[in-house]
Chain A
C-alpha cells in the first residue's frame, strides 16, 4: 500500500492562516480520495511559513473495480426506449441480458467500472483542491489566473511504496509537480529530492527546517523558559503569541534581550503590549512582577550567535518604547492637569452613527450608574464620577496607539489625577466580563458602572432596531447580555431590570429625537423623572399624560411623539427582556439546569429580577431531583387538569375556599390538614425568598395529594361534594404554584 506525500511550497504564508490551511488541505484531499474510492490508513498535515504538507499513509494502490447492475425496459419495448437505456448505461446491445421477472422478461445491463490507479486520482483531487482552496484571502500574481495565498512556487507530490517513489504527474498553471523541495531560505536554499515522508522530514531538518509547528512551538517555549530561568526570571506565558511566532520561523533561534533602563519604569502592561504587538517579543518578569527583559525568536543561526541580530532587535525596541514613553509622559501631563480635556474630546468622537458621540454615551451611562448605585451598594456620586472618567483614556495617546490597553491606562491616569483608587479601578474593570471565562468585577462601583455600560449599549441598539440576528451580532450584544447576567448573579444583586431598561430606552429615545420640539422633549424628561418616582414606565407615562391633559396641552394626540414613545418603549423593553431570558436559559443550560424549569420560573411575575428567577429555578431543579418533588409535579398537573376541565365545562372558576366540614374521607381530611399546616410555612419561606424551603414544603404535601387522588373521586355525584373538592384542588394549585408554573415542567 503506497504512501502519499504532498508539499505545496509558496512565498510566506501569513502566520494566522497556516494551521487552518494545513487542516483544510488534509480534509479536502482525503475527502476527495475517499470519494473516488481510495481509502487510507492515516493522514497528517503540517505547515511552515513557506509550505503546507500532507502525508497520507496506507493508501490503496488503485480504487476498487465497481460492478453495477441496471434494470432496463421490458423485452419487446420500442427500440427508442432500448437505445436510450443503452446510451445511459454505456453498454452495447449484445451485452444486454434478458431475465424473467414477475412482470415479464426485462433487459438487464451490467456496467463494469474498472478501478483507477492512485496516481490518477491523486492528480485529479489535488488539482481540484488547489484550485478551490478556502484561503480567507487569496491573490493572483504575474500573468496567471490561479489564486493562492501568496505566489505558489512548487508542488511536491509523490507516491511511495517498497519499490520506491514515483512522482504523481500533475501540472497546475504551469507548475509541474516533482519530488523536490528546498530547505531554509537563507541557511540551506538548495533543492533536494525526497522518497518518503520520513525522508522528507529528516532531510528538511538537515536543511534547517522543522516541519511540525508543535515541535517549533515546544522548542521555543523550552528555550525561553531555560533562558529566563538562567537569568533568574520568569516567562510571561502567552499561548497566542507562541503559536504566531512558531508560524513565523522555519528554524527557531531563541534569543534573550535587554530592555533599555530608561523604559523599565513604564507600566508592565505597556511594555508587554508594545513588545508583543510590534515586535512579537515575549516578556520576562522578575520576582516582583516587573518586566525587565524580552525573548525574541530569530529564523536564522548566525556566526556571531545572533549578537548582531539581537542588537538590531534591541534598537528597534528602544525606538518603539521611546514612542511609548512619549505617549505615557504626554498622557500623564494631561491626567495630572485636567482630564476634562479628554472627556471633552470624546464629544467629537462618534460612538455610532445613530447613537451619538462617545461623550453623549458616557453621560447616559453616568446617569444610569447613579440610579443603579443603591442596588449595587455603591455611592451614587462616586458612581457618577467613575462613569464619567471610565472611558476618558480613549482620548489618550497610549490607547490610540494600543487600543487593547483601554481601561488599563485609564486606571493609571485616573489614579495619577488624584482620584481614589476605587474610582480608578472602575476604568479597568467596567469592561468586564468580556468573555464567558472572564472574571466578573466585585467592587460595587465597578459592578455599577459595568452594568450601566452594558445596559446602555443594549437599550441603545434596541432603540434603533439593530438587534442581533442569526449569527450576526456586530455589536457583541449577546456578550453584553451575558455580562449583565453574570454581573447580577455573581454579585447577588437584586434589581427590577425592567425599570432600568425603561429608563435607558427613554434616554435613548430623547436623544434620538433631539430635534423634536422642546415641549415634547420636556414631557419625555418628565416621564424619566416620574419613572424614578413610580418605578414603573406605564405609571410614569400616565402621570405625565394626566398632567398634560389637565393643562389642556395637545401632546397626547394619536401619533404625537409622546404617544409613539409611550407605546413603543414598553414593547422594546419586553423584547429586550425576552432576549435576556433567552441568554439566561443558555447560561443555565450550561450549568445543567433544564430549560423547562427555567421556562416555568420565567412564567412567574417579577421575572425581570434575574437573581430571584435563578434562585427559583435552582430550588425547583433541586426539588425535582427528589422523589417527592417529581411526584408533586405529577399531582399538581393532575389537580390542574381536573380543575381546568371542570372550569371549562362549568364556565366558572373554582376559587372559593373549600370547607373541611364537607370532607368525607380520611385522605380528604388529611389533605385539608396538610394544606393548613403547610401553607403558612410556604408563605413564610416565600416571604423570606427561601425558595428551597418553599419548594420542599410543597413537596411535603405530595403524600397527602397522592393519597387524595388514590381514594377520592373528585367528580362526585353530589354537586356539593364535587364543588368542595374542586375548590380544595384549587387550594393545592395555588399553594404549589407560587414558585414556578409547574404546568410547564416536562414529563
Chain B
C-alpha cells in the first residue's frame, strides 16, 4: 500500500485494484450523464441473466450543483468511479474494503461504517438496497444491491459501488478545499491542481447553466430525444438491409440519457415547476423502461433466438 499523492493516483489505484479483481476496465461513456449509473455498462448490463464485471471512471454533470468554481466541495462537473459486478459476489464487502486499502486507507486507524441508505432512481425506474459507507463520518461510497432496473426485477442481482472521487480524494489526500488538491504528481515539472484544470470551466458552465441556456431550444431537444427514442424502438427487429436481427436498444437508450440531461439543464434554469417536475421524470422513466424492454431482446440482454 503506497500513499497516493494526487487525484489521478487514486483513480489509477482504484483501476488497478478492480482490474486485479477481474473487472473489465471500461472508459467513460461519451455522453453527458448525471451519475455513473447511467452508463449503459451499469443500467443495461444490470438487466438480464448474462454475467458482467466492469469498472470505470465516469464524469458526471449536475447543473444545479454549479457554484462558479467557488465552492471547496461542489462542482457541476465531477467524477464518479463505478464498479458493477453481476451476480454480486458473496465477499463484495471485503472486496470493497480491499479497494479502500488500495488507496491508502488503513482499516486499523479509521472508523469504517456501513450506514443504511437505500438507493432509488426515479428517472431510471431503478431501486436497490445497501449503504452509504462512512470513513470517520465522511460518506466515501455508495454500496448498492440492485433489485430493479427499468421496472424489471434484477435476477441475478448486481452489486454496484460508486465512489465520489473528489470527496474521497480530498479525504485521502488531506485537503479541505478540493480545488487545491493536486491532480497530477505535485512534484511534476508542471504540477496541476484540480482547480487549475476545472475552476474556470466551472464558472463558464455555471453561467450557461443558470442564465444563458436557451430554454425553448432545450425543451425542443427534449421532445426530439423522446421522439427519436420512440422511433428507434418502433423499428422491426429484423434489419431489412442485412437480414439480421438487430434490436437497437443502445441507440434508443442514448436518447433516454440525452432527455435526462436536458431535463437537468431545464431544472437548473428554473423553468420547471414542482408539478411539472414529476411529469418530466415520468417521461424519462417511460423511455428508460422501453429501452430496458428492448435490451432484454438483445443477446447481451440474454435474448436467445
Residues of A participating in the B interface, judged by any CB pair closer than 8 Å: 11-12, 14-16, 49, 137, 139-143, 149-151, 153, 186, 248, 279, 296, 298-300, 302-304, 306, 308-313, 315-319, 348-350
Contact A142 B111, CB 8 Å, known A137-B129, A279-B137:
no
Min Cβ gap B232→A in Å is 32
Q: List chain A residues, Cβ under 8 A from B110.
A: 300, 302, 308-309, 312
Contact A319 B176, CB 8 Å, known A139-B147, A302-B108, A304-B109:
yes
Which residue on B lies nearest to A311, using beta carbons? B136
B108 touches A303 (CB 8 A): yes
Cα A16 to Cα B130 in complex, Å, equals 14
Residues of B participating in the A interface, judged by any CB pair closer than 8 Å: 72-73, 87-90, 93, 107-116, 118, 128-131, 135-138, 145, 147, 155-157, 159, 171, 176, 273-275
Min Cβ gap B199→A in Å is 19
Cα A315 to Cα B73 in complex, Å, equals 13
Q: List chain B residues, Cβ under 8 A from A143.
A: 87, 155-157
Cα A456 to Cα B155 in complex, Å, equals 49
B90 touches A153 (CB 8 A): yes
A317 touches B137 (CB 8 A): yes
Q: Which of A141, A149, A300 contacts B111 (CB 8 A)?
A: A300
Q: List 22 A-B contacts (CB under 8 A).
A: A11-B93, A15-B116, A137-B118, A139-B145, A139-B147, A140-B147, A140-B155, A141-B157, A142-B90, A143-B87, A186-B108, A296-B137, A300-B112, A308-B136, A309-B111, A311-B136, A312-B110, A312-B135, A316-B136, A317-B137, A348-B273, A350-B275
Q: Which of B131, B147, B157 contacts A142 (CB 8 A)?
A: B157
Residue among A12, A303, A304 with max Cβ neighbours from chain B (10 Å): A12
B137 touches A348 (CB 8 A): no
A312 touches B157 (CB 8 A): no
Min Cβ gap B65→A in Å is 13
A12 touches B109 (CB 8 A): no
Min Cβ gap A299→B in Å is 6
Min Cβ gap A736→B in Å is 60
Q: List chain B residues, Cβ under 8 A from A141.
A: 87-88, 145, 157, 159
B116 touches A316 (CB 8 A): no
Cα A14 to Cα B155 in complex, Å, equals 23
Which residue on A lies nearest to B144, using beta carbons? A139
Which residue on B lies nearest to A322, using beta carbons? B72
A142 touches B273 (CB 8 A): no
A312 touches B137 (CB 8 A): yes
Contact A248 B113, CB 8 Å, known A153-B90, A303-B108:
yes
Cα A143 to Cα B159 in complex, Å, equals 11
Min Cβ gap B282→A in Å is 16
Which residue on A lies nearest to B154, using beta carbons? A140
Contact A316 B138, CB 8 Å, known A11-B93, A12-B114, A248-B113:
yes
Q: List chain A residues, Cβ under 8 A from B108.
A: 186, 300, 302-303
B138 touches A142 (CB 8 A): no
Contact A142 B112, CB 8 Å, known A279-B137, A350-B274:
no
Cα A299 to Cα B134 in complex, Å, equals 11
**10 shortest interchain CB distances as A-B pairs:** A312-B136, A14-B116, A12-B114, A298-B111, A139-B129, A313-B137, A143-B156, A316-B137, A142-B87, A143-B87
Q: List chain A residues, Cβ under 8 A from B73.
A: 319
Which residue on B lies nearest to A312, using beta carbons? B136
B111 touches A12 (CB 8 A): no
Which residue on B lies nearest to A281, using beta carbons? B137
Residue among B73, B109, B110, B136 with max Cβ neighbours from chain A (10 Å): B136
B176 touches A309 (CB 8 A): no
Additional pairs, 20, CB under 8 Å, beyond known A303-B108, A316-B136, A318-B176: A11-B93, A12-B116, A14-B116, A137-B118, A139-B147, A139-B157, A142-B88, A151-B90, A186-B112, A298-B111, A299-B113, A300-B108, A304-B109, A308-B136, A312-B111, A312-B136, A313-B137, A319-B73, A319-B176, A349-B274
Cα A149 to Cα B73 in complex, Å, equals 33
Contact A299 B111, CB 8 Å, known A141-B88, A313-B136, A350-B274:
yes
A303 touches B274 (CB 8 A): no
Q: List chain B residues, Cβ under 8 A from A150.
A: 129-130, 145
Q: List chain A residues, Cβ under 8 A from B130.
A: 150
Q: List chain B residues, Cβ under 8 A from A186.
A: 107-108, 112
Q: List chain B residues, Cβ under 8 A from A12.
A: 113-116, 131
Cα A312 to Cα B155 in complex, Å, equals 39
Q: List chain A residues, Cβ under 8 A from B90.
A: 142, 151, 153
Q: List chain B residues, Cβ under 8 A from A142.
A: 87-90, 156-157
Min Cβ gap B195→A in Å is 17
